[in-house]
Chains A and B, each alone.
Chain A
Amino acid sequence: MARRRPERFLRWAMPLGLILVVLALWELGVRWNDTPHYILPGPILVAQTLVADWHTLYPSLLVTLRVTASALAVAVIGGVGLAVLFTLSRMVELSLFPFAVILQVTPIIAIAPLILIYVENTHLALLICAWIVAFFPILSNTTLGLNSADHNLVDLFRLYGASRWQMLRFLRLPAAMPYFLGGLRIAGGLALIGAIVAEFAAGTAGTGSGLAYRILEASYRLNIPRMFAALFLISVAGILIFLALTLLSHLLLRKWHESAARRDG
């Protein structure tokens, strides 16, 4: 007990302190060298820009987050649904899995321009791009999870004459939960990346006004502080998505799974 407290404190204090040190060095470096704003703004200027441009940056953040969240939601529904279908029918798995792999291995930056041409609605096109990258980890992790139920438990279910549905509902889905949540955490970050990449591909020609669009716009105007402010928001959004999904995973698994259960609790 006595030794755990400081350890816990340090877990937060160390990385926070380090970040502050890096920011301070950055600010000092910029000041000492008189680096011009349009080459490298200091963190204080970036913060000021963030506040000053909040009225344009905040709506953009919401746009990007909305694309990310809807893509993730569709990826969850599609990924889990398809994984279940795979375990129910080997034929479906054999015929569809290659498509999933093709979608996964083709760089999104290479397909995004095509999607933007074929899909009229830009918002929908962005969503599709983000979905393509977020979808695969959920599909592959959930498929792995559904197939990793304890063999003896499978036998036990068969012994009691469980139907396919019961086997899925009471055994395979709960067994897949930790795998699914692991996939979800990866997919959350990927969905954000997918959304940003697609926004870049859409460029200023699109009607999109997400954070990537703000970065492009600011770069044409050589407004480097604003680029940094938008970049900062993207990072924060990514971190928040990761933390939220980690929390969700912890809440769902803490009662029983080794990864989340406390040893000394």
Chain B
Amino acid sequence: MRAEDAGSRASGGTAELLLELRGVTKSFPNGTVALNGLDLAVGRHEFLCVLGPSGCGKSTALRLIAGLAGASDGQLAWPNGGSAGDIGFVFQEPTLMPWATVFDNVHLPLRLQGRGRRRAEDVVMQALALVGLADFAGAYPRELSGGMKMRVSIARALVTRPRLLLMDEPFAAVDEITRIRLNHDLLDLWRGQGWTVVFVTHSVYEAVFLAARVVVMSARPGRIVAELEIGEPYPRDDTFRLSESYLRYCGRASAALQQATETG
């Protein structure tokens, strides 16, 4: 019952469910309870933003979904098949290997799956072209700007053509102009590639601009305390950013975040 409910909320009632977390709790050996009873359903092809105060367990939730950590309690289900093997992850920092070129960094996931340089070349160059960095294949990370490094990191996440893209505050460290451009690029990519995206952020404005649905987490221990549909159709561009409805959504999300932070 619940699953159907959440799935239909995900996008207009027709989408299948990709992933569901039920009553997920995570406590660390040192006694910190990061998540407590987290319920979250993610629909296929959905763009979901997770909004929450710093330290509320957002990264922990993503790591659980990615299979990098186990839940202490509760369930994580992939109702229609699929698994952690099908996931791309973008961290808050670009997290590139400084000793490897842009090409080799993007090649990494394929190389780990046993696909050599030559056999992977086309796919890697395609991924780089998607993020507009085809000319920088031979550069080293230290030669790139912060925004470009982030693009490399995104190219690496999508080179395996994952079904689910997990992004953990990916643009928190880049400047405002770059962030806006990366937001646009990301939406374009998402619409073109048919991914599901779970995007963690602490910025209300970013969440409202990107997401079809925004969920708000409480302060630690984290759980979902509010949910907000952003009814604006895609493609979205700067006119949405300047529209009154954008500001209204931001106001509502802001209020929800405020309340979540205070009540805990």
Q: Which A residues lie at the B interface, using CB under 8 A?
A: 150, 152-153, 155-162, 166, 170-171, 174-175, 177, 255-258, 261
Contacts and interface: CB of A to CB of B under 8 A. Distances in A.
Contact of A159 (B84, B98, B99, B140): B84
A218 B136 CA distance: 63
A171 B112 CA distance: 11
A106 B160 CA distance: 53
Contact of A155 (B68, B97, B112): B68
Contacts of B85: 161
A258 B63 CA distance: 30
18 contacts: A150-B95, A153-B95, A155-B66, A155-B89, A157-B112, A159-B87, A160-B160, A161-B112, A161-B113, A166-B112, A170-B108, A171-B97, A174-B100, A255-B99, A255-B140, A256-B99, A256-B140, A256-B141
Contact of A156 (B89, B99, B113): B89
Given A157-B112, A159-B89, A256 B142 contact: yes
Contacts of B66: 155, 159
Contact of B99 (A157, A160, A162, A177): A177
Nearest to A261: B142
Q: What band does the interface of chain B fall in when counting residues whose beta carbon is under 8 Å from A?
A: 20 to 34
A177 B97 CA distance: 13
Q: Which of A152, A160, A162 has the most CB of B within 10 A?
A: A160
B113 A257 contact: no
A256 B95 CA distance: 14
A158 B67 CA distance: 9
Interface in B69-103: 84-85, 87, 89, 91, 93, 95, 97-100
Nearest to A257: B98
Given A162-B112, A166-B112, 12 more contacts: A150-B95, A153-B95, A156-B108, A158-B68, A160-B160, A161-B85, A170-B97, A170-B111, A171-B97, A255-B99, A256-B140, A261-B142
Interface of B: 63, 66-68, 84-85, 87, 89, 91, 93, 95, 97-100, 108-109, 111-113, 140-142, 160
**Chain A contact residues: over half helix, strand or loop, or mixed?**
helix
Nearest to B89: A159
B95 A152 contact: yes
Contacts of A174: 97, 99-100
Given A155-B63, A155-B89, A160 B95 contact: no
Contacts of B160: 160
A127 to B, nearest CB: 33
